[in-house]
């Protein structure tokens, strides 16, 4: 039961809630996620199971795409719809062209203040733990990159947007700061992640679909094909002798991939056995070796 599956996360569940549910569905303790989504957010949440949980280190800086709604007229303490209103609500008349002009300020490399209700650490404690206790939260602005941010439409007090961002960007902060620019306050009303790393909504299953596929043992349909993982990294299929050396942590000569620093090593078409790092020339050392699978029942193959 080693693989990567993509959940279309529903609203109201934490990412950890989703992990716990999938653990039960797969009868598999070793399940983790590749980066959290806020409870109110929906969409692409990649999970790793079995020995492929070790792939998580390669996805720490993944780019992401979102669609969502910003509500103008008042800010909230969490910068989203789950928080308490800050200040009096104000009447709002939105102009699409003006919003787009303001939105242009949030593209490129910018300084962003993380929300007080976030996982950013303050003296070793997550900021949200201090914020929940009504303690002062003093965060420093961080540099983030927003590759694109487009206001698609607006109606009444709400605007729809689409964004593509580098890792570490808070769309809640974008909504909050846009409301401050407009002078009326704003917060994130809804958020849907449509893409992260190699995965998009076309790869995703609902929790109900995952439960059904697990019941049918339809593993090939449930899990992403291993050859699609880490798409920017070349793949090589090892011979039995090469695979044996790699599993024992020994260096091997692999085909030259235009000086690629790392390659994915497979045994057969579907079994990822290692991530190997170039030492010199065509000599590669297995940096991460995935524990060999035990023989599985025929329907698991």
Task: Provide the annotated active-site residues.
Answer: 38
3-class DSSP state for residue 82? coil
Checking DSSP bridges between strand 262-267 and strand 271-280, what pairing results, if any? antiparallel
3-class DSSP state for residue 91? coil
Structure-block tokens of residue 195: 């893409």
Alpha helices in the chain (DSSP H): 15-26, 96-103, 127-132, 171-182, 207-216, 219-222, 240-247
Burial of 10-43, coded b for 16+ CB within 10 Å and e otherwise, reads: beebebeebbebbbebbeeeebbbbbebbbbbbb
Residue (of 223, 164, 163, 158) closest to 187 by Cα position? 158
**Does residue 56 contact residue 50 with C-beta atoms inside 8 Å?**
no
């Amino acid at each position: 039961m080693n693989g990567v599956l993509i959940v279309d996360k529903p609203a109201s569940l934490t990412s950890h809630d989703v992990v716990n549910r999938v653990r039960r569905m797969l009868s598999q303790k070793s399940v983790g996620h590749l980066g959290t989504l806020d409870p109110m957010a929906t969409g692409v949440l990649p999970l790793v199971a079995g020995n492929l949980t070790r792939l998580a280190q390669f996805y720490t800086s993944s780019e992401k795409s979102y669609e969502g709604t910003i509500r103008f007229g008042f800010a909230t303490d969490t910068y989203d719809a789950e928080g308490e209103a800050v200040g009096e609500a104000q009447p709002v008349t939105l102009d699409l062209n003006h919003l787009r002009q303001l939105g242009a300020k949030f593209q490129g490399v910018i300084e962003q203040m993380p929300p007080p209700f976030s996982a950013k650490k303050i003296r070793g404690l997550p900021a949200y733990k201090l914020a929940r206790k009504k303690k002062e939260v003093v965060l420093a602005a961080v540099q983030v990159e927003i590759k694109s941010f487009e206001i698609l439409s607006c109606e009444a007090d709400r605007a729809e947007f689409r964004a593509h961002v580098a890792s570490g960007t808070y769309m809640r902060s974008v909504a909050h700061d846009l409301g401050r620019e407009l002078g009326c306050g704003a917060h994130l009303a809804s958020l849907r992640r449509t893409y992260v790393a190699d995965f998009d909504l076309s790869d995703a299953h609902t929790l109900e679909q995952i439960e059904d596929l697990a019941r049918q043992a339809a593993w090939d349909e449930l899990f992403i094909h291993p050859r699609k993982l880490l798409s920017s990294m070349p793949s090589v299929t090892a011979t039995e002798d090469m695979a044996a050396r790699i599993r024992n942590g020994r260096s091997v000569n692999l085909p030259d991939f235009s000086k690629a620093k790392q390659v994915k090593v497979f045994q057969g078409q579907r079994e990822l056995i290692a991530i190997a790092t170039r030492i010199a020339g065509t000599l590669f050392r297995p940096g991460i070796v995935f524990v060999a699978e035990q023989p599985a029942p025929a329907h698991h193959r």
